[in-house]
Amino acid sequence: MAEPLLEVEDLTVSFRTDDGAVQAVRGVNLSVQAGEVLAVVGESGSGKSVTAMSLLQLLPPTAEITGRVSWQGEDLLSVPPERIREVRGGEIAMIFQDPLTALNPVYRVGDQIVEMVLAHEKVGRAEARKRAIEMLDLVGIPQPDRRVDQYTHEFSGGMRQRAMIAMALACDPKLIIADEPTTALDVTVQAQVLEVLADLAHRMGTAVVLITHDLGVVAGMADQVSVMYAGRIVESGSVDQVFDATGHPYTSGLLASLPRLDGDVDAPLLPIPGQPPSMLAPPPGCAFNPRCRWASEEAGCFTVLPPTAERSPGHRSACHRADELMAAGLLDRLAGAATADVGDRGAM
């Protein structure tokens, strides 16, 4: 396999607070190849957005970051600030969840794209403006030569998100980090925006790190998936491995709790009992143990941090009992319904 474009090794992020250090990210490893879509999935508080923000050092000064973020061989955590500014927007672009806060309301949309091009490339203003129009056209904004001179309030939600994608693409980055890019959008608009993003990624060979909580979006967009829980990657692999040969009880629980358009409507959904742990004092052993129906004393779930192990080539998970549970088919998508005590399992 070729040298990865981005490789994150043992990344930790903690925030100093009055109550002590919040360990938001606790030893994350990620690797993204050129032209690949990697989805990082997790629920609120899992550390997925903090991971994304730390890659480009967009976190407040209260954040303490350790580990290695290797960008084409260069460690972004130790380069000077000028170099980070070059990378940001130029080589790695970012798309945020809320385009209204990410775009400046008092500048024309086109001028914001132009500014971005001028900051990173030695081109004239006229050339940059031409590029801005081209980019707006590329993401499917109608009448781009007119829209380029409008303000963000004149754009609808879906168009703002496209404008942000246009801005991200303007300098032809090698990697786009998209943090919940469609969460604020309606489903028909989400479909439009995801299509634009997927199409561009494939056509221009841009790699995408897609941060999301939506497993449906992951199934449709991603090549590789990393599932995060309580600041750690608990499972990673190709989208087919993670969905069809699930190797961690948390992933399996997420899939079973999800209502599906094509699922059995009469079977109750299977919530994961309890709630995610506080990151001020995560539980010892496996952080998922208080909510895991397979957690056991003998396997060490309550005392020993589960190591990440390979389950099949390219498919890893961090669970003491993964091999045993996978062999028995207990983590498969439909196994939950057959074996679980159904009903309202007091999940809160």
Partner 1 sequence: MSGPLLEARNVVKEFPGPRQGFLGMSRATVHAVNDVSFTLDRGETLGVVGESGCGKSTLGRVIMRLLPATAGQVLLDGQDSAALERADSRAFRRRVQMVFQDPYASLNPRMTVGEILAEPFLVHQGMKRSASTARVAELLSIVGLSPEHASRYPHEFSGGQRQRVGIARALAVEPDLIVLDEPVSALDVSIQAGVVNLLRKLQGERGMAYFFIAHDLSVVRHISERVAVMYLGRMVEIGTRDRIYREARHPYTRALMSAVPIPDPTLERQRQRIILEGDVPSPIDPPSGCHFRTRCWRATEICANEVPPMTGDAKHAFACHHPVETPVQLGESPVPA
Sole binder of partner 1 in the list 240, 310, 323, 324 (CB under 8 A): 240
Binding mask 154-173 for partner 1 (x = CB under 8 A): --xxxx--------------
Query: Could you tell me which stretch among 72-80, 93-101, 130-138, 212-220 binds partner 1 (CB under 8 A)?
Result: 212-220
Residues contacting partner 1: total by CB under 8 A:
51
Q: Least separation, in Å, of the C-beta of 291 and partner 1? A: 8
Helix 187-204 vs helix 157-169: angle between axes, to the nearest 10 degrees?
A: 10
Q: Least separation, in Å, of the C-beta of 57 and partner 1? A: 28
Binding mask 263-292 for partner 1 (x = CB under 8 A): x-x--xxxxxx-x-----------------
Binding mask 307-346 for partner 1 (x = CB under 8 A): ------------------------------------xxxx
Sole binder of partner 1 in the list 106, 126, 187, 327 (CB under 8 A): 187
Interface of this chain with partner 1, residues 34 to 53, rule: CB under 8 A: 43-44
Q: Is 205 in the site for partner 1 (CB under 8 A)?
A: no
Q: Least separation, in Å, of the C-beta of 163 and partner 1? A: 13
User: In terms of DSSP H, where are the helices of 245-348?
Assistant: 249-257, 322-327, 335-339
Q: Least separation, in Å, of the C-beta of 204 and partner 1? A: 20
Kindly calculate the radius of gyration of the chain based on its CA atoms and give it in whole angstroms. Answer: 21
| Residues at the contact surface with partner 1, assessed by CB under 8 A | 43-44, 142, 156-159, 186-192, 195, 213-220, 239-240, 243-244, 253-255, 257-263, 265, 268-273, 275, 343-348
